[in-house]
Amino acid sequence: MSEGRRGRFSRRPFGVIRGTVVALAFGVVAGCSDEASVPKRLMDGTHAAAPPVTLEGIQDHVVLTKVRVVSHTNRGNQTRSASCLERDWDAQPEGSSVERVGVESETVTFEQASRQVVFGCDNSLGRGEGNRPWCGGAYGRLYGGRLRDPRLDMVGCSTRDGDPMGFIWVEPGRRTKYLVVEQPGYAEVYETAGGLPIRIATVHDVFIEGSHAVFELSEHDKTGQMLRTYRVDARVAG
């Protein structure tokens, strides 16, 4: 789709998001997704469930991603966190890590012991370069406890069909419980967890030429009430 694609969220006032994302107003139209296109499984093969609350303003079918907070004492050999740390990272993790599984992606996020860096791994259904267990990763320095850019990763990861994917970190507002990402024919929902930025993925509007990806997002509180909608046009750091 082109960069002029419109989102499917109902119209609501939106706020300015502090930190790494650029909040831009975008037009809204009511959407209607095809049942056949709604995912039934997550990347790990588990059932794709709906969130426990109704998310205000979301017209598409919704799929809740999985999240797990793993303490440093529970990073056994079978965890995604342990596998991610096998990469050649020049970093020392602090506290718990956050593991996420979506429809076409899985990620791990750590904070460095100095609390000045976040880092982690990205994976997808596509065949990674060299058959490595993780097709990508990101490393971002914190300034005043926040990222200055979302650290877009779009090299190496792809869908099952070989289409490129984009991964970024999002730092949601304090009241946010659910972060919603518009995908083709459905909306993917991420829960806040572990006090770390949320690593999300998109499977469309990824532009290899120009090195950027566009994410259509909304944030909701624990009751499902919409707090804000915005678009992130993320670019690979130079």
Instruction: Give the pLDDT of residue 13.
Output: 38
Instruction: Give the pLDDT of residue 19.
Output: 34
pLDDT at residue 24 tops 50: no
Residue ranges per structural domain of the chain: 35-235
Residue among 177, 173, 155, 186 nearest 34 (CA): 186
217-231 in b/e form (b: 16+ CB < 10 A) is bbbbbeebbbbbbbb
Span 56-103, pLDDT tens digits: 999 999 999 999 999 988 887 778 999 999 887 777 898 899 999 999
Residue among 134, 131, 125 nearest 88 (CA): 134
Q: Could you give the CA distance from residue 167 to residue 100 in angstroms, rounded to a whole number?
A: 12
Instruction: Give the pLDDT of residue 79.
Output: 87
| Helical ranges in the chain per DSSP H | 80-85
Span 41-54, pLDDT tens digits: 999 999 999 999 99
Reported confidence tier of residue 133, pLDDT bands at 50, 70, 90: confident
Radius of gyration in angstroms for the set of CA atoms belonging to the chain, rounded to a whole number = 17
Q: What is the pTM of this model?
A: 0.85
Mean of the pLDDT values across residues 146-152?
94
Instruction: Give the pLDDT of residue 91.
Output: 77
Q: Could you give the CA distance from residue 206 to residue 225 in angstroms, rounded to a whole number?
A: 29
137 CB neighbour count, 10 Å cutoff: 21
